[in-house]
Amino acid sequence: MTHTDTIAAIASASGAAGVGVLRVSGPAVPAIASEFLGRDPEPRRAYFAAFRDAHGELIDRGLLLYFPAPASYTGEHVLELQGHGSPVLLDALLRRVCAMGSRLARPGEFTERAFLNGKLDLAQAEAVADLIAARSQAGARAALQSMEGVFSRKVHELLQSLIALRVHIEAAIDFPEEEIDFLADPLIMQQLHALRVQLDDLLREAQRGVRLNDGLRVAIIGRPNAGKSSLLNALAGSDRAIVTDIAGTTRDVLREQLNLDGIALELADTAGLRETDDPVEREGVRRAHGELARADVALLVTDAEHAGHDLALLADLPANVERIVLINKIDLGSHAAQYDVRSDAIWVWASAKTGAGLDALRDHLKQLAGAGSGEGAFSARRRHVQALEQVHAHLASADHVLQATRAGELAAEELRQAQHALGEITGTYSSDDLLGAIFSSFCIGK
Ligand code: GDP
């Protein structure tokens, strides 16, 4: 795709470093570069240039870099002007560049052009924004991996396996006289099962990638007065939540962003989950359930006295949420700090008041958030996980159809849809709405 217009934006104005960068992309770039330099620039060479306005008046002096198409970020002719980091100078320079035949870029428009010109796929483009927005070191490292194409390559490998299977099955449909024998071939089922294993691995990695990217979402639940707010404060190291002795104080959802050794967590302290007639508190309970629906981890806070009764809350939790039971207030009893892996949940005995046992909880949360997940860990977004879940559902249907009826056409259709869902991750198939939603969330100049 070639764009006929040229876009320009301030790509960075770092006050501390005193440097401001203006980025320009499109067909007018060579003319703009020559005008500033007084001659044609050589590609990828840094020039010290005078940036002058239309009357020859000096706006600023700085570096000029020219990247001819297609070897540039956007795949178009790109010009970078580095001047002093003053917003006033950069603004004047931007107006000058616009007067020379370009227009202001929309948010994310440079990266959108890079995507449309095939310089990176959609998952990589999203990783650019995620890298800029990263809230933890682990998140930034993971986004960098995705930007480098680690995630996209795995999606592509899966796609190749899927296409190979599709070809196999469609060949069987095209030769109906052989169909029965062909679809009964154990190789096809083996191929499908291998594909499902490959997908499940990628789905798990992508789920971890979302946690690395967004931070692990932890919903703290439990009866009023169990010590939920105290725990949030202890983990966050501040007095963010109000702690009182009156049951039902935490009426709204309080959120805290935590950075535990370079890993991002988002803790939400929900209202107690008890039945109540108080309309305000009831609203809090409703929000607590909403919070659970989007959480990765449910952290049930109780104490030795109420544990027997409170464990019933575990039964109401969504199936795919990780569970932790925290027996709080051990400072009041004789139980020592302890960590136990049980079939219903991870159990931790601790005290929000003294801090005893909380290190074990922190370590477990870090692990769930993807700490120590190694070099290759990549970032992902929820929409990628949803697409992979669709692939999972289509492959499961294909499996069922082949086993139960050997209906090749139906299985082939499921695989076609699975392929489509995979293509949505990398942007082989994408709607304008989706692209608009993705790129408009970028900052200007990227
Ligand atoms: P929430 O309603 O679940 O948020 O509970 P709060 O955090 O407001 O705590 C209720 C009461 O229990 C407060 O008086 C806290 O000081 C107290 N509390 C919380 N954690 C502990 C603990 O570990 N030990 C003791 N002794 N008291 C605690």
What does 122-166 look like in DSSP terms, one character per residue? HHHHHHHHHHHH--SHHHHHHHHHHHTTHHHHHHHHHHHHHHHHH
Tell me if 245 CB under 6 Å of ligand 1: yes
Ligand 1 pocket mutation, candidates 223, 225, 230, 285, criterion most atoms within 8 A of CB: 230
Residues facing residue 219 across a β-bridge: 268, 298
What is the pairing mode between strands 322-328 and 297-303? parallel
Distance 324 CA to ligand 1 centre (A): 18
Tell me if 345 CB under 6 Å of ligand 1: no
Using CA atoms, how far apart are residues 301 and 222, in angstroms rounded to an integer?
5
CATH superfamily of the domain spanning 129-212+381-426 = tRNA modification GTPase MnmE domain 2 (1.20.120.430)
Nearest CA owner, ligand 1 atom 24: 329
User: Which secondary-structure segment (H or E) carries 20?
Assistant: strand 19-25
CATH number listed for the domain at residues 215-369: 3.40.50.300
Q: Where in the chain is the domain with CATH 3.30.1360.120?
A: 7-118
Alpha carbon dihedral 378, 381, 387, 389, in 10-degree steps, equals 80
Distance 217 CA to ligand 1 centre (A): 22
CATH number listed for the domain at residues 7-118: 3.30.1360.120
Using CA atoms, how far apart are residues 415 and 120, in angstroms rounded to an integer?
26
Tell me if 352 CB under 6 Å of ligand 1: yes
Distance 244 CA to ligand 1 centre (A): 8
Nearest CA owner, ligand 1 atom 14: 245
CA angle at 299 for the pair 127 and 130, rounded to the nearest 5°: 10
Using CA atoms, how far apart are residues 415 and 398, in angstroms rounded to an integer?
7
The pLDDT of residue 13: 60
User: Which secondary-structure segment (H or E) carries 21?
Assistant: strand 19-25
Using CA atoms, how far apart are residues 347 and 341, in angstroms rounded to an integer?
6
The pLDDT of residue 436: 87
Distance 35 CA to ligand 1 centre (A): 69
Using CA atoms, how far apart are residues 283 and 241, in angstroms rounded to an integer?
18
Sheet holding 254-260, edge to edge: 254-260, 263-269, 216-221, 297-303, 322-328, 346-349, 338-341
Q: Where in the chain is the domain with CATH 3.40.50.300?
A: 215-369
Q: At what angle do helices 137-147 and 186-214 cross, to 10 degrees?
A: 140
Number of Cβ within 10 Å of residue 396's Cβ equals 14
Distance 224 CA to ligand 1 centre (A): 9
Q: Where in the chain is the domain with CATH 1.20.120.430?
A: 129-212+381-426
Locate 441 and state its tokens: 């969330």
The pLDDT of residue 238: 55
Tell me if 77 CB under 6 Å of ligand 1: no
Ligand 1 pocket mutation, candidates 243, 302, 335, criterion most atoms within 8 A of CB: 243
Atom of ligand 1 nearest to the CA of 226: 3
CA angle at 338 for the pair 336 and 344, rounded to the nearest 5°: 130
Using CA atoms, how far apart are residues 110 and 107, in angstroms rounded to an integer?
8
Distance 269 CA to ligand 1 centre (A): 13
Tell me if 419 CB under 6 Å of ligand 1: no
Using CA atoms, how far apart are residues 374 and 370, in angstroms rounded to an integer?
9
For residue 279, the 8-state DSSP code is H
Nearest CA owner, ligand 1 atom 12: 227
The pLDDT of residue 142: 94
Give me the tens of pLDDT residue by residue for the chain, a chain 446 residues long: 678 899 999 887 655 568 899 999 999 999 999 999 999 999 999 999 999 999 999 999 999 999 999 999 999 999 999 999 888 999 999 999 999 999 999 999 999 999 999 999 999 999 999 999 998 888 999 999 999 999 999 999 999 999 999 988 888 777 666 555 666 778 889 999 999 999 999 999 999 999 999 889 999 988 888 998 899 888 887 555 545 555 555 546 677 888 887 788 888 887 655 566 666 556 656 667 778 888 999 999 999 999 988 888 888 788 889 999 999 999 998 889 999 999 889 999 999 999 999 999 999 998 888 877 677 799 999 999 999 999 999 999 999 998 888 788 899 999 999 999 999 999 988 888 888 888 888 887 78
Nearest CA owner, ligand 1 atom 22: 329
What is the pairing mode between strands 322-328 and 346-349? parallel
Q: Is-contact 212 370, C-beta < 8 A?
A: yes
Atom of ligand 1 nearest to the CA of 242: 8
Tell me if 362 CB under 6 Å of ligand 1: no
